[in-house]
Structure 1
Amino acid sequence: MMNTFIFFLVLIHVSGTLYAPRLLISRAGRSVTIKCYYETTSANRHGRKYWCKESTNRHSCQTIISTNDFIHKDYEGRVSMHDSPQSGILQVTMAQLVKTDSSNYRCGIGNKNAYGFYAGVNLTIWEGPNMPKSPEILWGKVRGSVMIQCPVETAKSSMRRSFCKMRRSGCSLIADTSMNKGKQQEGRIIFTAGNSSETFKVFINKLRKEDSGMYKCGTGMSDDNASSSIIQLEVTEELVFFNIVNDTATTYEPQTIWTSPQSYVTATNEVYKQRLSETELNLLPIVIPILLGFLVLAAAVIIVFLKIRKRKKGGWLDLAGPKCV
Structure 2
Amino acid sequence: PVSSSLHGSRFLTGALGGSITHQCFYSPTPANKYERKYWCKVAANGVCYTVIASSSYTSSEYRGRVSLGDAPQNGTFSVTMTGLGSGDAGTYRCGIGSTNEGLYVSLNLTVLADATVSRPTQLIRGELHGSVTVLCPSGDTQGGKKRFWCKVGRSSCTLIASSDGYVGRRYQGRILFTPQESSGAFRVLMNDLKKEDSGLYLCGTQGLRGQDSPQEVVLQVASASALPRRPKFLSGTVGGSLSFQCHHDPKGTYEKKYLCRWKAGSCPVLLDDEGFVLEPYKGRMQMSGGDPERGTYTVVLRQLREEDAGWYWCGARSGHTELTAPLKLLIHRG
In 1, the alpha carbon distance for the partners of 2:24 and 2:146 equals 37
Aligned-partner Cα distance in 2 for 1:43–1:170: 31
Choose which of 154, 161, 178 in structure 2 pairs with 1:192. Answer: 178
Rate the CA distance shift 1:46–1:271 in 2: closer, same or farther, 3 A. farther
User: Could you tell me how far apart the structure 2 residues matched to 1:160 and 1:67 are?
Assistant: 42
State the partner residue of 2:62. Answer: 75
Partner of 1:247: none
Residue number in structure 2 paired with 1:265: 315
Q: Look up the match of 1:43.
A: 31
CA distance in 2, matches of 1:270, 1:20: 25
Instruction: State the alpha-carbon separation in 1 of the partners of residues 174 and 43 from structure 2.
Output: 39
CA contact (8 A) 2:14 2:117 kept: no
Q: Which residue of structure 2 aligns with residue 30 of structure 1?
A: 18
Please list, as runs of the form range in 1=range in 2, the aligned pairs for 1:108-257 lying within 5 A after superposition. 108-114=95-101, 116-128=102-114, 131=116, 133-134=118-119, 136-143=121-128, 144-149=131-136, 151=138, 153=140, 157=144, 161-165=147-151, 172-179=158-165, 185-196=171-182, 198-211=184-197, 212-218=199-205, 221-222=206-207, 229-238=213-222
Cα distance change of structure 1 residues 52 and 185 upon mapping to structure 2, 3 Å threshold = same
The amino acid that maps onto 1:231 is Q
Contact 1:146/1:268 (CA < 8 Å) preserved in 2? Answer: no
86, 98, 102: which one pairs with 2:85? Answer: 98
* Alignment partner, residue 286 of structure 1: none
Question: Counterparts in 2 of 1:3-18, with a 5 A limit?
Answer: 16-18=4-6
Residues 75 and 205 (structure 1), Cα distance of their counterparts in 2 relative to 1, 3 Å cut: same
In the TM superposition, residue 39 of structure 1 has moved relative to its aligned partner by 3.7
Cα distance change of structure 1 residues 148 and 60 upon mapping to structure 2, 3 Å threshold: same
Query: Residue type matched to 2:39 in 1?
Result: W
After TM superposition, give the deviation of residue 185 of structure 1 in Å. 2.3
Q: Distance in 1 between matches of 2:143 and 2:181?
A: 17
Q: Please identify which structure carries the higher strand content.
A: 2
Name the CA shift for 1:181/1:139 in 2 (closer, same or farther; >3 Å): closer
Q: Percent identity?
A: 32
Distance 2:195 2:69 in 1: 27
How far off its partner does 1:162 sit?
4.5
> For 2:135 and 2:191, how far apart are their aligned partners in 1?
11
What letter corresponds to residue 218 of structure 2 in structure 1? Answer: E
TM-score (norm 2): 0.56
Alpha carbon RMSD of aligned pairs, Å? 4.2
Asked if the contact 1:145–1:268 (Cα under 8 Å) also holds between the matched residues in 2, the reply is no
Residues 115-152 of structure 1, C-alpha deviations (whole Å, 9 max, x = no match): x2223343332313x62634653423244312243648
Flag structure 1 segments of 5+ consecutive residues without an equivalent.
1-14, 241-252, 274-325
Write the letter of the residue equivalent to 1:141: G
CA change 1:210–1:268 in 2 (3 A) is farther
Q: Which runs of 5+ in 2 are unaligned?
A: 225-253, 262-269, 271-298, 300-312, 324-334
User: CA shift at 1:91, angstroms?
Assistant: 3.4
User: What is the aligned length?
Assistant: 240
Equivalent position amino acid for 1:68 in 2: S
Between Structure 1 and Structure 2, the one with more helix by share is 1
Change (3 A) 1:229 1:48: closer
Task: Measure how far apart 1:62 and its partner are.
Answer: 0.8
